[in-house]
Every structure is written in structure tokens, then in C-alpha cells.
Amino acid sequence: MTAPLRLGVAGLGTVGVGVVRIIRSQAALLSARTGRDIRITAVSARDANKDRGVNLSSYAWESDPVALAKRDDVDVFVELMGGTDGPAKDATEAALDAGKDVVTANKAMLAIHGQALAERAEALGRAIRFEAAVAGGIPVIKSLTEGLAANEITRVMGVMNGTCNYILTRMENAGLPYDAVFQEASDLGYLEADPNLDVGGIDAGHKLAILSSIAFGTRPDFDGIELEGIQRITIDDIRQAADMGYRIKLLGVAQRTGRGLEQRMQPCLVPASSPLGQLEGGTNMIVIEGNAVEQIVLRGPGAGEGPTASAVMGDVCDLARGLRLPTFGQPAATLTDAPSARAVLPAPYYLRMALLDKPGALAKVATILGNASVSIDRMRQYGHSDSTAPVLIVTHKTTRAALDDALAEMQKTDVIASPPVALRIESV
């Protein structure tokens, strides 16, 4: 048996503690499956005295993660601190420069700095592995880089933030408004310290940028993603979608078009009978479509100690076996810049608006849609309240550009009480 693989773990939160527990409880299994022992030699975190529920006394302690990354008794630097810049990025770069491989769960760092880090790692003959950065315990990175390597990927989409999926399904199942479920999620500790990372779609957008890069051979481009969160979704939207056979999900979609790479993270309606439509609670789901494999669906827990630590250890095991791949599935120098494209493929849309209770208001809206070549498939008007009339419209397939033109014209009129909500109805 070869020499042990020695880990330095920076960050001892939920995931870091999970990694410690797996290595301790599964030592024999890991050794049998990789051909060498896997050991933690040193750790780093903000507070050395915090009780984390595991005994860390057998590991060397470094208060500075950069110092940990440079230690001679560390072969693989495991970065579980998080953060786009600062200590996480500094320590990752220090580890690569010191000849270490890196395993990370840091989607924000990779979405923003992934190209530069990949180039640095590959120039130094090192590897960066990051299965835990996307969709928790679901092995989607390995699926794209290995199992589906022979496919030309045509579309990647999915539910990539369990907190948002929890909020939307809880609103539906309990009949509660957004604000009440948001507070409930906060009280349960489901939200990030900055809740907008979750409900604003930013966390999921980071994950989509990583998947897009691997799927389409492009440089990670978080800034090219159309981002829209779930804050404007109401319980009425959820009920009305259900009446039409749909459910609302914060859906990430990436696909190549004739105009460039389309990347969007936004609330969409999906058929309630589809795999995505049936997804409940904090579970994640990734759908991958390729020219040879057609469509596969990956479903599983998107966060939590066990699932995310499992993904970290999958990467560690690959490094223990000597498996090294380019960071984003192909050499960083071959990744291309793809022009960003807004959603250009036609799709039906769900529109919700509140019209002022004036004669001819609905006719005026219908005329504006018609003038923009947006045809109406279905329309419902609900009971009046406070001098407004809630109206729901489902369009036939149209482009977002045509719809935006119509929405802009509507807001110039004197019949719209508040800005309309427009949600794409996604084919799955």
C-alpha cells in the first residue's frame, strides 16, 4: 500500500465536521476502495475553542488557513470556508503554489475566479476538485466530466437551491404567504447569513455558471446569467399555476443558441407531472440533455452535513487513486468565451397583473399584447378588491423580447395598478 494521503481541512462548520466524521468512521472502507489510507493531519477554523461535537485534539491546529495550505504534512488542501475572495481564495492559491491539490465546496469562488484558478492549477500540474460545490450529494460534476464526456450537451437545467424549493413547496402545501414561510425558513436556519444569496437566486446562479462551463466548454461567466429571485412569487401565483397543472420552481437553465450561451436562473412554471414538478422540500434535481444519452435526471439532497461531506470525500478518493482531470473537464486554455444571449427561444408565459377597475382596461391590455404579436392562450379574471381586478393570462409561445415590449407599453397606460409578473413556462 502506498503512503497515506494527508489532508488539511480549512473550515470546521457543518461540512467540515462531516468530513472528519466520515474519515473516522469509514477509514477501512476508504482504504480498501482507494488503495491507501486517508488521514487528516491539520485543521483550521476561526475559533479553536468551539465545541463542534468531534474531538480534534489529534490534529495540528493552524489559525491561518494560508499557513495550513503550505504545511509540509498536507497533500490535499480541503477548503470549506466559503467566500468569493479573502482567506478562501488566498489559501487555495497558496496550496496550489505549494504543490497541493485542492478540494473545495466553494461555488462562489469558482463561479467568479474559476478560470484563473484553473489556469493556475493546470500550469502547476495540480488538480482542483469541487463536486460538493453544486447540488450537495448529487454527483453532477462527475457525471458531466466523466460519464457523459462523449456527449455534446444540449441543455442543463434544474432546481439547485434547496431553500428556495422548500419555501415554494411549503407555501403551496401549507397555503402560507411568502413572508411567513421566509421567516419560518430563517428560524429553521435554512437561509444564508445574507438571505438574498438564496431567495435572490445568487447561490443557484453560481452553481449554474459552473455547470455551464463544464457542459459547453466555456469560461465560467456568472455575470452573463439572467438572475431573478422568488421574492415576487405570491400564494395566488402558486394556486393559479396549480389550477393549470403547473408548479413554480426557481429553475436554472443553460443552453447554446444561435446567438450565444443562454444562462438564466429565474422562477418558471413546469408541468406538475414532470420530475421537476414533483420535487419537494429541500431536494435538488439536475436534468442533463445530450445528443447521445438524450435526457438523464439526477435527484438528491442538495445540502447538509452528510450529503455535502460525501461529495467532498468522493473527490478526495479520486485524488487518492491518482485520478486527475482538468478543472472544468477540458484544459482551461481551451475554454472559450461565449457571448451571453438572453432567452431567445419562444415559450409560453404566465402573466399576472392587477388592473384598475376601469371600463375597457382588459381590452386595452389585450390590444397591447396583440400589437406586440403576443397571442393569448388562456385568460382568467378574478374577483375585484380595492378597486383592482386581478387578471391571469397565459400566452402562446412568444419571445421574451416581444413580451417585454408589451409589458413596457402596459405600464405607460392608466389601467395597470402594479408592475405585472411574467414567468416563463418551461418545457421539461
Radius of gyration of the chain (CA): 24
CA distance 76 to 61: 16
* Element spanning 299, H or E: strand 294-301
* Element spanning 425, H or E: strand 421-425
Q: How many other C-beta atoms are found inside a 10 Å radius of the C-beta of residue 330? A: 16
Q: Which residue has the cell 465546496?
A: 105
Q: How many other C-beta atoms are found inside a 10 Å radius of the C-beta of residue 193? A: 6
Q: Is the pLDDT of residue 120 over 60?
A: yes
Q: How many other C-beta atoms are found inside a 10 Å radius of the C-beta of residue 408? A: 11
Q: What is the dihedral of CA 375, 410, 354, 225, to 10 degrees?
A: 80
Q: Model confidence over 230-281: pLDDT tens digits?
A: 999 999 999 989 988 999 999 999 998 888 899 999 999 999 999 999 999 8
Q: Model confidence over 40-66: pLDDT tens digits?
A: 999 999 999 899 999 999 999 999 999
Amino acid at site 20: V
In eight-state DSSP terms, residue 278 is: T
Residues 6+ apart with CB under 8 A from 232: 267, 421
CB 89 within 8 A of CB 113: yes
Question: Which residues are annotated as catalytic?
Answer: 207
Q: Model confidence over 295-346: pLDDT tens digits?
A: 999 999 988 899 999 999 999 999 999 999 999 999 999 999 988 887 777 8
Q: How far is CA 230 from CA 191, 251, 266, 314, in A?
A: 14, 10, 8, 32
CA distance 401 to 347: 11
Q: Model confidence over 189-209: pLDDT tens digits?
A: 888 889 999 999 999 999 999
